[in-house]
Structure 1
Amino acid sequence: MHPSYNITVQSLPLTANGKVDRKKLPDPDIAATTVYEAPRTATERELTVIWEELLQRSPIGIHDNFFALGGHSLKGIRLMVRVAKAFNRRASIRTI
């Protein structure tokens, strides 16, 4: 396993017990790492809608990376199921 994102902070907020206070950590700024390009075809639009629902963010462009935007293995499985239902085709998780 590896983290979905990294954030650099000056110091870690601690609880009274000396543990990291996760509630006080800054929220990640998960931004698209590519230049946004809108979907052009009906298939691209449908896939974009599925991604936006699973990742709970918008807009998503055709060059964006599922995992860079907060996707992980469980969301990848959900994506695989949604794609199969939407397009009546099966795709492996590796393809996804």
Structure 2
Amino acid sequence: MIALGGAIGTGLFVASGNTIATAGPGGALLAYVVIGFMVFLLMQSLGEMATYLPVSGAFEEYSTRFVSASFGFAIGWNYWYNWAITVAAELVAA
């Protein structure tokens, strides 16, 4: 339960107040459903790539292999920045 609360609770409780104030409850629910579906499609694509070509690495490895080295470099830094912000958000929410 602690892991579930840490994963879901941060995004829902820290950022949902501003979202509901801006879009209203229906708009916020619609936005969460649309983005959730987009994340589902992204993870399905990543799963297909991982089973087709199992390599050591994450998003940047597949970006480098299937798009270009510069795109993979940018994705790698974006992935690092994402985790740096996530750690800060977890600390604020705790």
Say whether the fold is shared (TM-score over 0.5): no
Structure having the larger proportion of residues in helix: 2
Task: Sort the TM-score into its range (normalised by shorter chain).
Answer: under 0.3
TM-score by length of 2: 0.26
TM-score by length of 1: 0.26
